[in-house]
Structure 1
């Protein structure tokens, strides 16, 4: 039951626009199944490994230097970005040109940085219960929440961009209203 509650909470956090976690990237991902799968997987990798690095940053960073957290998180994501680009280049040079765009879109996405700060904030509230495993699992759950949110968005993407929707409302405005309604429904489950 605890896992279901956590998954619903992370899904709601990804969908509620007040936190704005990856909304624009979800629009890109919902365009096609290939884009959605690749972007979601790369974001999950970034949130998982970034959360592990955030654990070490949070453990080693003294309280008076907490303002450096943003700089250090950005540096970690930058290092992960370079590692993923390098690894994907050497693993498959023939599909590197297609895959690198997903790394570019995902690396400095607000879903990744928002996940690191959300996990860090939750750990700061009650530091006795949180360890490296909790940080990693929370980062992975946030990535899975992004995947589920992208699937929900993809379900309505074509219909909300069809000719049946008035031209002035078609596209981004319709998606924002749709996300708002879905996020209220999901948030009510908690």
Structure 2
């Protein structure tokens, strides 16, 4: 019982770590291009996108964990690692596609099927897997970090969406309106979170 509670504690602690201190967007710049597209796309639900991203990363984590052991035993792990992890993402994406295809006639099924490529073919998915494996996370840590990275991505989308509404002021010079000021805003948030984790910016 204690082992189960400890594993659950590790899972959630790494999820919280990934949401805030190690946010995929703000501390590692993963998926920024998709984030900017998502903020301006009113047809795509941020909530459903984040749900699919979380599911994808949680399902990829155990596959990548066991595949990482296989890769480490090979003579050329550095070359094999990205290909094997891409294969893990492809297997999970295919599984999700089959499940959503069978449910396409149900409520939200068609919408989720349309969002799936945006959520699964995303640098934040592969980047999160690479972080998990290069940091030698355990299975519980990897799955918690995968879930937290998806939730952290949703947090980033919500923050940038709110900023998009507020950064339409006439006080902003015309040359900076739209994408430029959005990228500046993301950069300032990234610096703030980077400093929050205990790092200092050296000028």
**Normalising by structure 2, what TM-score?**
0.78
CA distance in 2: counterparts of 1:24 and 1:79, whole angstroms: 24
Match of 2:5 in 1: none
Secondary structure (helix, strand or coil) at the match of 1:64 reads coil
Which runs of no fewer than 5 residues in structure 2 stay unpaired?
A: 1-9, 198-203
Match of 1:14 in 2: 25
Secondary structure (helix, strand or coil) at the match of 2:175 reads coil
Q: Measured at CA, do residues 178 and 59 of structure 1 come closer, stay the same or move farther in structure 2, by a change above 3 Å?
A: same
1:79 aligns with 2:91: yes
Query: What is the RMSD computed on CA atoms of the aligned residues?
Result: 2.3
Match of 1:59 in 2: 69
Match of 1:122 in 2: 135
**Given that residues 50 and 154 in structure 2 are in contact (C-alpha distance below 8 angstroms), is that contact kept between their aligned partners in structure 1?**
yes
Q: Deviations over 1:10-34 (max 9, x none)?
A: 22x4213xx3201122123323495
1:24 aligns with 2:71: no
1:68 aligns with 2:85: no
1:42 aligns with 2:49: no
Q: Deviations over 1:19-53 (max 9, x none)?
A: 32011221233234952111111111121111221
Which runs of no fewer than 5 residues in structure 1 stay unpaired?
A: 124-129
CA distance in 2: counterparts of 1:73 and 1:162, whole angstroms: 43
Secondary structure (helix, strand or coil) at the match of 2:177 reads coil
Secondary structure (helix, strand or coil) at the match of 1:9 reads coil
Q: Measured at CA, do residues 33 and 163 of structure 1 come closer, stay the same or move farther in structure 2, by a change above 3 Å?
A: farther
**Given that residues 77 and 107 in structure 1 are in contact (C-alpha distance below 8 angstroms), is that contact kept between their aligned partners in structure 2?**
yes
1:103 aligns with 2:116: yes
**Given that residues 17 and 148 in structure 2 are in contact (C-alpha distance below 8 angstroms), is that contact kept between their aligned partners in structure 1?**
no
How many residue pairs get matched? 180
**Given that residues 42 and 103 in structure 1 are in contact (C-alpha distance below 8 angstroms), is that contact kept between their aligned partners in structure 2?**
yes
Question: Which has the larger share of helix?
Answer: 1
**Given that residues 128 and 149 in structure 2 are in contact (C-alpha distance below 8 angstroms), is that contact kept between their aligned partners in structure 1?**
yes
Larger deviation: 157-166 or 95-104? 157-166
